[in-house]
Amino acid sequence: MLRKAPPEAFHHAVRSESKSSADNSPTTARQAPSSSPEPAAADRAARRAVTVFPVLVLAAGAAGLATPGTFSGWAPNVPYLLGVIMFCMGLTMTPQDFSGVVKRPWAVALGLVAHYVIMPGLGWLIANALGLSPQLAAGVILVGCAPSGTASNVVTYLARGDVALSVSVATVSTVLAPLVTPPLTLLLAGEFLPVDAGSMVTDILKTVLLPVVGGWWCGWSPGGTSTGCWGCCPGCRPSPSA
């Protein structure tokens, strides 16, 4: 959802940074996205998105804590809703997302190690430092063990960071999630609650990896499939020159 906010300028930033890193020229480094009216508008849209999103999350969490019975009936539908979100994320993925892995494998590898070491470690430290209940502790650790989301890419874009690297790390971390997230969760959260790592692998494959691959295939497969998909979600379509 957040990647939908600044589609043209965001993907322009990815292409520009990939080109500059390939040329190894400091003079072709990242340019501020606000150098033209269109990116400036995208900046404002992205800032609104990253501002509103945490508010919505906090409001939804507060509502769930206040009246849990009101939303408990939605629980069986959560995997399907997550699958839809991941499918839409797959629609926004481009071959450019994977080319960064080939161009800068060590940078991507370092980002992955940091992602799957720092975040799970912080989750475990927070759970123990605050003395959280087993359910909350397992939830915090699970969030730390989860792959990157599109929000991190948008925040990197707003901070004038290396968007291409952020997208590459997010893409690879999502692909590796079925292999990395279950054992990490079992290792760190197993002391709080029983963790069925095998079932978690199956759930991640069904709700994360398969929808992402399906969305990517629909968005970029030949034969006109992408046309129909983008007709349903035109705002998410990356720039044709990506």
Q: Is 71 inside any structural domain?
A: no
Q: State residue 125's pLDDT score.
A: 96
Q: Is residue 92 part of a domain?
A: yes
Q: State the CATH number of the domain containing residue 87.
A: 1.20.1530.20
Q: Assess whether pLDDT exceeds 60 at residue 10.
A: no
- Report if residue 72 sits inside a domain: no
Q: Flag whether 73 is in a domain.
A: no
Helices 150-158, 7-23: crossing angle, 10 deg rounding:
70
Give the 3-state secondary structure of residue 5: coil
Interval 174-186: pLDDT, tens: 888 889 999 999 9
Q: Is residue 241 part of a domain?
A: no
Q: Average pLDDT in the 98-107 region? A: 83
Residue 30's pLDDT is 43
pLDDT at 241: 45
Residue at 242 is within a domain: no
Q: Tell me the CB-side half-sphere exposure of residue 40, using CA atoms within 13 A.
A: 4
The tokens of 32 are what? 């501020």
Residues with Cβ within 8 Å of 197's Cβ and at least 6 positions away in sequence, in order, are 182, 183, 185, 186
| pLDDT band per the 50, 70, 90 thresholds, residue 242 | very low
pLDDT of residue 37: 57
Does the residue 232 lie in any domain?
yes
Number of domain units in the chain: 1
> Which residues lie closer than 8 Å to 66 by C-beta, 6 or more apart?
none
Could you tell me the residue range of the domain that residue 176 belongs to? 2-26+33-66+79-236
Q: Pick the closest to residue 66 from 58, 75, 76 (CA basis).
A: 58
Q: What percentage of the chain reaches a pLDDT higher than 70?
A: 71
Confidence of residue 33 (pLDDT cuts 50, 70, 90): very low
Please give the torsion angle defined by the CA atoms of residues 8, 213, 181 and 47, in that order, rounded to the nearest 10 degrees. 20
Mark 26-65 as b/e (b = at least 16 C-beta within 10 Å): eeeeeeebeeeeebeebbebbeebbeeeeeeeeeeeeeee
Structural tokens at position 169: 């790390």
Task: Note whether residue 44 is domain-resident.
Answer: yes
Q: Comparing 212 with 33, which gets the higher pLDDT?
A: 212
Residue found under tokens 């470690």? 121
pLDDT tens digits for 46-81? 677 677 878 888 898 888 888 878 877 887 888 888
